[in-house]
Structure 1
């Protein structure tokens, strides 16, 4: 069959299968397999399937993913999120929207122990939402803040999504993780500034807590020592070149396990059950990611077979459009994708097609990777498949899903502001990884 028709049939098959509710990994695998058969034949497909699933997932870098997920699960059961919220509320709880700001700070802190957006939203939401409801916060603001705060889990290292991008593009995992730090802090500050503006003009302006003294706030900060330890163990070891990212992930997971063992509440409520649940969550999430990679690997092989990524790259170079306009168009593609797909699925579909063009135009792959993750963040808080919003609606049954999405839209605007800064000032992303490279 003509190689120009095969991708159209394959894409149509993806849309059809997704309409019937077929899982994303199976959709990609079937569409890719169908495309390979159309271009070659069934025997060729069977030959490739003997080795393709193994070669796609047997990547040393991917070992980091279950380690980071396990570290976050242990940290969750050690109730690190609850301690962080108490510390944050002492510092900013007295400001307009202070408890919502505290949820953002808590999300940023917990993100430093967990690489998952959904886990961050669930952990912080279970602690922060009851407190904001008690203080009389606008439900849209409180639920939207927690849902948006969860996206920091895929940006602030250690981040599973950053590792996923590094594996897809064969970029340095250590540099990708380090590169997420400054954009993560910038996002945190913009979220907090936006909350202050919204709360100062809305019904939540009077919903503040009693101001803690400087001494009390400083003394209370010591309760967040676990986050600092985990962050220094993982990111400090990577930045200084003492450990590889995989070794740092293993040490971080072990440190979080010791914190769980030392937590009195975990021992009272059944330590073995907490540990077993942590391993079960890690296995479930890791298997989901690897199966998605296998399906994407089959589809990506089909695209490579017909040389579609190279053709798009050549067309972009020959188009005469400014390179930044090409990259901006690529990033905008993630908006409709985010309405129907999760972050991992978006990446495995888009990155193999876009990355050759990014390389041919001479852009830094780390810069593009952070921008890609930022665009995936928007998908996590926008309808109809905003996973973080569904998580928050599940935690707070009294707040309708529509209200959660309405509150999250404020933060979509803030995300656009942050992405614009990172897009036009790449050094905000690249200077720390460059320092790391110079130091090592």
Structure 2
């Protein structure tokens, strides 16, 4: 067998491990180490006395990955962004956002559902974790929706699906991971997520209104708020936008000239500002301890996945599977856009069996070079490319689309993590009911993805405006 055959065989074995329930981090690490041993041993003709030599070399090669790849300043963004979200919860910003959204848009059909979507979008702007966002709003929004007569499946589905917006709206941990995998500018990817995230929130809100209009008493509106009460709710919600403004100004400096700091420094500054707000709202050591512990747990989970998958990625490099896949993709006798759509459909299927971060880490080393090749290569000009954009623009555009596809993993049975989190917070609502309530939002996600493909300017406008074409 040549290296590519070994790569295919090991990849198939890894997928089997995932399907039988082995965690992605461990399945990828086992497959990567086994593949490295196989490749090094095959170079010696599979001689029996060379197996332990191959094992030693493979272990040394795999052992370099955790430090060399994870000791990256860009990855330090992940715990700071996650910490911002937990501290914002203890600062009372989530309740303030939901209350303001309820008073301003609660009068709409499905008003509390729409309020949940918009409040979640606002909270996503200071939280990098979808799971944390869903857990927070399951405690805040679902009780209020149930009190006014919402269908409990629908209420839980709104929270689970709205929580996925934290994957797209900066600061997003998964966008940071994407940028590092494909070696693109982290700041550009984060900036590119704002408009698509807002676009997705609007589509979600429109779907909620449509469902409330279609089904009687599905999502009754909330009325009775005066204009004075509406304006009175805004000051408590302003700190969210203040923190977002600080991070944006610090990282991008829209006034011209060099940036005032790195994204990591901007994230740390944002965490410090929210920490001061939480102290002012009465946060004490037990709450701070909980925020730090939850941040550590989620960060360790993400970094463990990264460690394991990068061992597998190192093996893919030796097997030359990414290059072979790119050549095969570009040789297909069909339009590049059709090929891209088929790739996205494959992501939708994979999302049924894998978590979002693991799926991207496993597939991007192979898929990303193929997409760039479809567009015309690393040095193609926008005018000559298949998708009408430069290689850098294509990398950003594809990143936002594939992260939006990854959001489906969070609400797709059987392992949709957001749905399990909502059910865990609300024992009176089963996981099956949360999945059922989430199902209409697949339509909204399909519309959002179609819009981002048809109008790439939604993704590229802000990066081109503030960072240059």
Q: Taking structure 1 as the reference length, what is the TM-score of the superposition?
A: 0.95
1:208-227, aligned counterparts within 5 Å? 208-227=221-240
Instruction: Assess if the C-alpha contact under 8 Å between 1:137 and 1:203 holds in 2.
Output: no
Structure 2: how far apart are the matches of 1:243 and 1:204? 51
Instruction: Assess if the C-alpha contact under 8 Å between 1:138 and 1:203 holds in 2.
Output: no
1:1-150, aligned counterparts within 5 Å? 1-40=1-40, 41-150=54-163
Q: Matched residue of 2:440: which SS? A: helix
Which residue of 276, 279, 292 corresponds with 1:261? 279
Structure 1: how far apart are the matches of 2:320 and 2:12? 19
Superposed displacement of residue 398, structure 1 = 1.9
Instruction: Assess if the C-alpha contact under 8 Å between 1:309 and 1:352 holds in 2.
Output: yes
Q: Matched residue of 1:211: which SS? A: coil
Which residue of 376, 386, 405 corresponds with 1:375? 405
Superposed displacement of residue 229, structure 1 = 1.3
Number of the residue aligned with 1:244: 262
Q: Matched residue of 2:223: which SS? A: coil
1:332-371, aligned counterparts within 5 Å? 332-362=345-375, 363=391, 364-371=394-401
Runs of 4+ in structure 1 displaced over 6 angstroms? none
Structure 2: how far apart are the matches of 1:149 and 1:316? 34
Superposed displacement of residue 21, structure 1 = 3.2
Tell me, yes or no, if structure 1 residue 397 matches structure 2 residue 410: no
Superposed displacement of residue 205, structure 1 = 5.3
Q: Matched residue of 1:5: which SS? A: helix
Structure 2: how far apart are the matches of 1:101 and 1:214? 19
Number of the residue aligned with 2:335: 322
Structure 1: how far apart are the matches of 2:217 and 2:67? 53
Superposed displacement of residue 186, structure 1 = 0.4
Q: Matched residue of 1:230: which SS? A: helix
Superposed displacement of residue 20, structure 1 = 4.7
Structure 1: how far apart are the matches of 2:19 and 2:154? 33
Q: Matched residue of 1:383: which SS? A: coil
Structure 2: how far apart are the matches of 1:393 and 1:219? 33
Structure 2: how far apart are the matches of 1:11 and 1:47? 21
Superposed displacement of residue 416, structure 1 = 0.3
1:256-295, aligned counterparts within 5 Å? 256-264=274-282, 266=283, 271-295=284-308
1:183-222, aligned counterparts within 5 Å? 183-204=196-217, 207-222=220-235
Q: Matched residue of 2:398: which SS? A: helix
Structure 1: how far apart are the matches of 2:12 and 2:192? 37
Show structure 1 runs of 5+ residues with no match. none
Number of the residue aligned with 2:44: none
Instruction: Assess if the C-alpha contact under 8 Å between 1:96 and 1:204 holds in 2.
Output: no
Structure 2: how far apart are the matches of 1:51 and 1:388? 33
Q: Taking structure 2 as the reference length, what is the TM-score of the superposition?
A: 0.89
Structure 2: how far apart are the matches of 1:230 and 1:98? 27
Instruction: Assess if the C-alpha contact under 8 Å between 2:151 and 2:219 holds in 1.
Output: no
Q: Matched residue of 2:222: which SS? A: coil
Superposed displacement of residue 9, structure 1 = 2.8
Instruction: Assess if the C-alpha contact under 8 Å between 1:25 and 1:291 holds in 2.
Output: yes
